[in-house]
Chains A and B, each alone.
Chain A
Amino acid sequence: MATMRAAFAFYRNFIWIANAISIFGCFTILLNGKPTFIIPVFWMKICTNILLGIYVNVFQDEQFYFYYNLGFTRKRLFALAFAIDLSVWICMTLLTLILLQ
């Protein structure tokens, strides 16, 4: 529980932009009308997450001491935050597919 609280706290760094990208992806799937369009959207999601990760790693690196104090390494923190983000993206995409049918 404490782990997820800290991971979610870190995810809040880029929650708005990550969710905006997810919504944009779902919107393009709806516009395109084909479920197979999920594949390029998935890769777009992966690439934008990598870019977001690099941005946080380089420009907001001061904050990591806070998380180190909570027992998190950078790798673990990013892995958990991206797992949360991908879970949100999967839920949104499934809803989009339901809307498509």
Chain B
Amino acid sequence: MRGMKVTKSLKSFLTGVALAFAAGSLAIAVGWKMYADATATAATSAPTPGKQSIAKSLRALHGAAGLPAPTWARQTLQDLHPGTYADARLLAPDLVLASRGDGVCLVTRRGLSQCRDRFNLGHAWIAGDMIRQTDSVDAPFDVHIYGVALDTVDVIHVAKGDGTLVRIPVRNNVFRATLPDTEFDDLNRIDVATGTDVVSSTPAERFFPKLR
């Protein structure tokens, strides 16, 4: 008799705990959705008038290049700006491109994800980061450079301070490279090239500020 009472009490207790977890999870989900919607609304405004569409100038978004965007990328696109992204394509490992109005969204699995309505170096959008090879304060850095370029761009050149020139080919309007054992401080210049012609050039520090 006493055993049955204890079992019943335990069942009630566990039901209460489960209910609390369910209610808490629901509250977190609803709260987060409301917060995200409010933040997104606050950031929205009309597009800048008088701009050319960069989305139209990217052939990879108008054909069958690459593969359909995987779920992780579609989720990030929805997080950035809710929409359909019918043309979202995986164009390089862990790198997805999609149009959004006249602009374009770049989504990476490990790195930058953002939409833009203009490029930052002539006909190219240069992005990247510097991450240690292992999670140790003594580990060397790798620099990851990636981005988007118009149909006319063939290659991105990254000149290092030691005289090395890293050539990053553009395929399907995107590019991506890892410069091992490299820090932002080691980068000197970035060129955007068509064939053998450099069409845009800038000190690397503009995108990858030196720390020292």
A pairs with B: no
A interface residues, Cβ below 8 angstroms from B: none
